[in-house]
Amino acid sequence: MTSHLDPRQTLRRQLRQTRRNLSSDEQVNGAQNLLPCFAQYLNDLQTQNLDKRIQHPRKIALYLSNDGEISPHVLCEHFWQQNIETYLPVIQGKELVFALYSKDTIWQDNQFGIKEPVTSSILSGNELDIIFLPLVGFDVKGGRLGMGGGFYDRTFEGKRADQAPLLVGLAHDCQQVKSLPIEGWDVPLQAFITPTQVIRV
């Protein structure tokens, strides 16, 4: 099928444009408002009988925002204050590994021009407690539309929803759609956090 007829491709193009059209005020305020929503979500998790790694996370993966993605930097500062280790995705072949991110990180660009840490402190996805995923679009059933590389899906293929790492999408509210066209390889997320809401799947 040619890409202009593929519904995922069409939706991806539209939502990427919507995301890029947000004003810098919307980006800044949105990023700030993620923190109270995350705090509320973590509180809820701590009242339930869940994996301790999820209730008291020590290693959390974020991303560096690109192409209008909501920025996790306020969350990141909060984790640093709590001595929680933060990691960033590094492309390795067709999958992702996660590299330690600190104030001393040295950088190199990946093939998409996104910065990645240069370090020997690398973990596989399953060694982390929470992964915050960037996304282009999402729905209430846990569906995630990404940039189209399939990197996160390959990395977390077969992961059980009730075990760490917890997969949490971060997005602006305008990235929510009624229902995404889902493919067999899509790994569902456990929650989405936006500047105004927590959506638990």
Ligand X SMILES: Nc1ncnc2c1ncn2[C@@H]1O[C@H](COP(=O)(O)OP(=O)(O)OP(=O)(O)O)[C@@H](O)[C@H]1O
> Which listed option, ligand FFO, ligand X, none, makes contact with residue 1 (CB within 5 to 8 Å by class)?
none
By CB under 6 A, name the one of 116, 130, 186, 191 that touches ligand X. 186
Q: How many residues does the chain have?
A: 201
Radius of gyration of the chain measured on its C-alpha atoms: 16
Q: Which of residues 25-84 bind ligand FFO (CB under 6 A)?
A: 63-66, 69
Nearer Cβ to ligand FFO (66/121): 66
The nearest distance, CB 70 to ligand FFO, in angstroms, is 10
Distance CA 105, CA 103 (A): 6
Contact call for residue 134 and ligand FFO (CB under 6 A)? yes
Q: Rounded to the nearest 5°, which phi and psi values hold at 13? A: -65, -45
Distance CA 131, CA 59 (A): 9
Binding-site size, ligand X (CB under 6 A): 15
Distance CA 49, CA 176 (A): 29
By CB under 6 A, name the one of 7, 148, 197, 200 that touches ligand X. 148
- Of the ranges 22-30, 141-149, 177-185, 192-200, which one interacts with ligand FFO (CB under 6 A)? 141-149
Per-residue tokens: 201: 């799947």
Distance CA 87, CA 167 (A): 14
Of 194, 199, 144, 200, nearest to 29 by C-alpha is 194
Q: Rounded to the nearest 5°, which phi and psi values hold at 65? A: -70, 145
Contact call for residue 192 and ligand FFO (CB under 6 A)? no
Nearer Cβ to ligand FFO (96/164): 96
Beta bridge partners of 87: 61, 100
By CB under 6 A, name the one of 22, 84, 91, 97 that touches ligand FFO. 91
Of 161, 164, 154, 183, nearest to 91 by C-alpha is 154
- Of the ranges 37-45, 47-55, 78-86, 180-188, which one interacts with ligand X (CB under 6 A)? 180-188
Contacts to ligand FFO by CB under 6 A:
63-66, 69, 89, 91, 112, 114, 134, 146-147, 149, 151-152
Footprint on this chain of ligand X (rule: CB under 6 A): 8, 145-154, 157, 183, 185-186
